[in-house]
Amino acid sequence: MTAMKQQSTYTRGLHRGLGVGVGYFSVSFGFGAMAAAQGIRALDATLISATNLTSAGQFAGLTLIVAGTTLWELILTQLVINSRYALMSLALSQKMGRDIGLLPRLAIAFFNTDEIFALAIAEREKLTTPFMLGLGTMPILGWTGGTLCGALAGSVLPLGIRTALGVMLYGMFVAIVVPPAREEKPVLAVVVLALILSCLFAWMPGLKTVSAGIAIVICTVAAAGICAVLFPVPDEEVAA
């Protein structure tokens, strides 16, 4: 591939990822503001985003850090929450073929998020290293830059505004979960079961003494496992 062709392909990926980058900026702004409200320095919050690039994992991790949980609980929680990225990377590797080398694959795996995965899978043309690097550039800049701006603003904004920004991610999750939950019974069952289990760990004597990290892991695995047994995917749908 010529240098001009690579630049053109990179630019196309850059344009495809622009919308994701803008969306990431708004959500990570809330993360930065929440981190600042919890006493985490702007530089540290930005470093977290620059090295993780995972919305749910970072918000859960921030909660656990503030709660003073152990390192092993934090690792286990992140492993469970972010396990979907391993499956996404496996699926994406099949579409990339053998033309993309090991080092580019490692870079792509680093910034492989839900939205980037969806854009890459939907791409009709053959995936190339320049396109994938372009696709991940704006999301990385948006997520890291939003965190920095949110952390800096969070140190000077009034408490009410910081609190409102802190629920931004949860509003996004509601917007993502509610539509499929209204249409698909298994999704609704997972949401309701996870909600019930979370309430039990929050209020039930004995269970509420369990640390936040372990509670998140148990609720996630239990809800997903039970619903996988109750609502198995038909073999013909898997094959398709």
Domain range summary for the chain, segments of one domain joined by +:
7-166, 184-239
What residues of the chain score a pLDDT lower than 70? 1-6, 162-173, 175-176, 212-213, 233-240
47 with 141: CB under 8 angstroms? no
Reference 223, options 81, 113, 117; nearest CA is: 81
Helix then strand count (H, E) for the chain reads: 14, 0
Residue-wise burial string across 158-179, b where 16 or more C-beta atoms lie within 10 A, e elsewhere: eeeebeebbebbeebeeeeeee
- The per-residue pLDDT for 134 is 92
Which tens digits make up the pLDDT trace of 81-104?
888 788 788 878 878 877 788 888
CA distance linking residue 93 with residue 81, whole number of Å: 21
Strand, coil or helix: 124: coil
Q: Are 60 and 34 in contact (CB under 8 A)?
A: no
